[in-house]
Amino acid sequence: MDHMPNQKDHKRTNGFAWQVVTAILCRLVLNTARRFAYPFAPVLSRGLGVSLSAVTMIIAANQSSALVGMVFGPLADRLGYRLMMLAGLGMLAVGLLAGGLLPYYSVVFIALLLAGLGKSIFDPALQAYVSARVSYKRRGLYIGLLEFSWAGSTLIGIPAAALLIDWLGWRAPFFVGGGLGLIGMVALSRLISRDELSGDRTGSQFSLKSAWHLLVHTRPALGVLAYAFWVSAANDNLFVIYGAWLEDSFNLSIVALGLGTGLIGVAELSGESLTVLWSDRIGLRRALLLGLFATLLSYGLLPFIGRNLVVTMIGLFFLFLCFEFTLVTSLSLSTEILPAARATMMSSFFAAAGLGRVVGALIGGQVWLKGGILATSLVSMGMSGLALASLIWGLWEWKK
């Protein structure tokens, strides 16, 4: 009889491992759908017969879906994480299949908006579900593993979409992505049972109003949300102009810029791997502060490395590695800020980060035009400094 509990624990561990692996694959599809329109905007504009600016409107709407996702965080805490994960995948599947079947601008606009909203619903519910089952001492490991799907969308998802477009036309990724979304729904619905832990018992009693009330009256939560806004704004302030900077400084071709984007994908994967291997060992708060300080310094080095292409690419690699490490570590820590309303906290984190990205993208071009890489560097450093101050203010007396 002594071996029975061990067999049950082993079976439970294996079951959770399969859930995590399946969730990572589902997020790979969701993240690819979120980033799909960026590199293929010209292809979409030709296929739909619209201007390039019309496609950028789709991209903006897709990014803004993170703000709408705030509404669904408290619902996940109340109704259960499993239900909201399946709902997110359902939106992805319906949207992409509709975009493939009905190749009209208005349909594709709604299709990618639904796909973005699906991600904004799925991600907080998944992170809350995993965090409810994993001790805080191993939180960086598991959240870091989930975030592999972000780098994977650049290294695997986008190249796969490019091959599909080349072989079968621009509508092919819509059909394949929608089909994979349906498969993901079936797989997760079988792996996560209805009666399995899907939301914290205390959180399940929260209404939308009471969940947000708790959020805005919790100092650590406010500090982390302010951090998410500023750190994301700082990154997009650079991200929207780094291609123009490289092209202007080194006369790079489109192919070379594409390889540079691939290098960013490797940097993201490296940052996520560093979170998995290191953040839990030194403590999430310490790792987060160190990563943010290194990111701030990396922005400051940009004006001094822009004379040599190899040195510049190494500098950008290090910058995006530090940023990704910092962001994923902050996600891991944020899952414990409001244990009774984890999905509310995480959806608000993504909304604050999404708003920061919008602001960074809007000002980035103007900052670059007026002051070049020096101005971009100073603005991103300043925003990162505000992110650091927000964290210190919010977490000063916070204890797990």
Query: What one-letter code names the amino acid at 138?
Result: R
Q: What is the pLDDT of residue 201?
A: 42
Per-residue pLDDT tens over the stretch 180-227: 999 999 999 999 876 554 444 444 455 666 777 787 888 999 999 999
Return the closest-CA partner of residue 385 out of 325, 300, 301, 320.
300
Q: What is the mean pLDDT of residues 21-46?
A: 88
299-311, pLDDT tens digit by residue?
A: 999 999 878 888 9
Question: For residue 113, is pLDDT > 80?
Answer: yes
The one-letter code for the residue type at 124 is P
Strands (E) across 168-211 are located at none
| pTM value > 0.85 | no
For position 400, what pLDDT does the model report? 64
Rg (CA), the chain: 21
Structure tokens at 206: 């929260």
The token pair that represents 344 in the structure block: 């509310």
Which residue type, as a one-letter code, is found at position 156?
I
Q: Helix 342-395 crosses helix 219-239 at what angle (to 10 degrees)? A: 90
pLDDT for residue 254 is more than 70: no
Say which residue the tokens 């792996």 belong to.
Answer: 191
Name the amino acid, one letter, at 246. Answer: L
Note the residue count of the chain. 400
CB 226 within 8 A of CB 349: no
Q: Which residues contact 30 (CB under 8 A, 6 or more apart)?
A: 88, 89, 92, 115, 118, 119, 122, 123, 149
Q: Which domains does the chain have, with CATH numbers?
A: 3-203 (1.20.1250.20), 210-395 (1.20.1250.20)
Neighbour count for residue 352 (Cβ, 10 Å)? 24
Q: In the numeric block, which tokens belong to residue 359?
A: 């602001």
Cβ neighbors of 114 (< 8 A, separation 6 or more) are 91, 92, 94, 95, 98
> How many CA atoms are closer than 13 Å to the CA of 40, on its beta-carbon side?
27
Mean pLDDT, residues 42-69:
82
Residue type, 96: L
Host H or E run for residue 15: helix 3-35
Summary mean pLDDT of the chain: 86
DSSP category for residue 258: H
**What are the structure tokens assigned to 376, written together?**
């971009």
**Max CA separation in the chain (angstroms):** 75
Does residue 288 or residue 77 have the better pLDDT?
A: 288
Pick the closest to residue 95 from 181, 7, 203, 193 (CA basis): 181
Give the DSSP letter string of 262-321.
HHHHHHHHHHHHHIIIIIHHH-HHHHHHHHHHHHHHHHHHHHHHTT-HHHHHHHHHHHHH
275 vs 286: CA distance, rounded Å: 12
| Tokens of residue 271, six digits | 């940052």
**Cβ contact 354:232 at 8 Å:** yes
Q: pLDDT tens digit string along 129-152?
A: 998 888 888 888 998 899 899 888
Closest CA to 332 of 280, 377, 293: 280
- Residue listed under structure tokens 């624990």: 9
Q: CB of 222 within 8 A of CB of 394?
A: yes
Residue 43 pLDDT grade (very low, low, confident, very high; cuts 50, 70, 90): confident
Q: Is the pLDDT of residue 293 over 90?
A: yes
